[in-house]
């Protein structure tokens, strides 16, 4: 007879001692999130800066990791960058856990997380109806924009430096990917 592994929940995560690691919960499975490389952090911070600039003219809220999004007790993630449009900011409480799905999630790929970001997490974001999902690849210097259509993401745009990333969800948000890949 084989023991059934116990599903981990958000309450379990909160009860864990702080060991300096970042954790997510995917379908009740505790996942250690390794520290990212420098090129990952540069791209994530540049995207957060772009979305913060956008917010100043259009409203909304941009937040960078670490920041828990609690979809439910067994699905908890810390995306690299999230954005909530102005009309949905009222769903957030700065003094409480965020249980609202963001309007935009951005994941910057790392060698250790790329398969999860393109697979399990992408399916999770679709299940919780995140309208737009960007996958940023700092090695290929490429940004993919995916939009939710009939509960599945469809790639609507792929851009490299010299091109243009345009959000479908956020009007007037466009940029050359060269801006976020400002490392040699």
Q: What is the pLDDT of residues 82-119, one digit of tens each?
A: 999 999 999 998 888 899 999 999 999 999 899 999 99
Taken in order of first residue, the domains within the chain and their CATH numbers are 35-179 (3.90.1570.10)
- Contact by Cβ (8 Å): 179, 50: yes
Say what the pLDDT of residue 97 is.
Answer: 87
Q: In what order do the strands lie in the sheet with 132-137?
A: 61-64, 81-84, 104-108, 132-137, 142-149, 152-159
CA distances from 111 to 37, 40, 93, 138, 181 (A): 9, 10, 34, 10, 17
Q: What is the pLDDT of residues 125-170, one digit of tens each?
A: 999 999 999 999 999 999 999 999 999 999 999 999 999 999 999 9
pTM, two decimal places? 0.93
3-state SS class at 136: strand
DSSP 8-state assignment for residue 177: G
């Amino acid at each position: 007879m084989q023991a059934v592994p116990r599903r981990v929940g958000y309450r379990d995560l909160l009860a864990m001692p702080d060991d300096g690691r970042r954790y997510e919960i995917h379908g009740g499975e505790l996942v250690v999130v390794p520290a990212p490389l420098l090129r990952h952090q540069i791209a994530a911070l540049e995207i957060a800066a772009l979305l913060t600039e956008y917010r100043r003219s259009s409203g909304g809220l941009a937040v960078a990791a670490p920041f828990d999004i609690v979809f439910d007790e067994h699905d908890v993630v810390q995306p690299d960058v999230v954005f909530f449009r102005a009309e949905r900011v009222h769903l957030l409480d700065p003094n409480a856990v965020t249980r609202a799905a963001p309007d935009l999630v951005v994941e910057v790929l790392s060698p250790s997380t790329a398969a999860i970001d393109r697979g399990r997490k992408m399916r999770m974001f679709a299940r919780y109806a995140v309208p737009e999902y960007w996958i940023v690849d700092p090695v290929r210097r490429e940004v993919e924009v995916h939009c939710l259509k009939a509960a599945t993401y469809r790639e609507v745009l792929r851009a490299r430096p010299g091109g243009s990333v345009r959000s479908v969800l956020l009007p007037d948000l466009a940029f050359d990917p060269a801006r976020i890949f400002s490392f040699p």
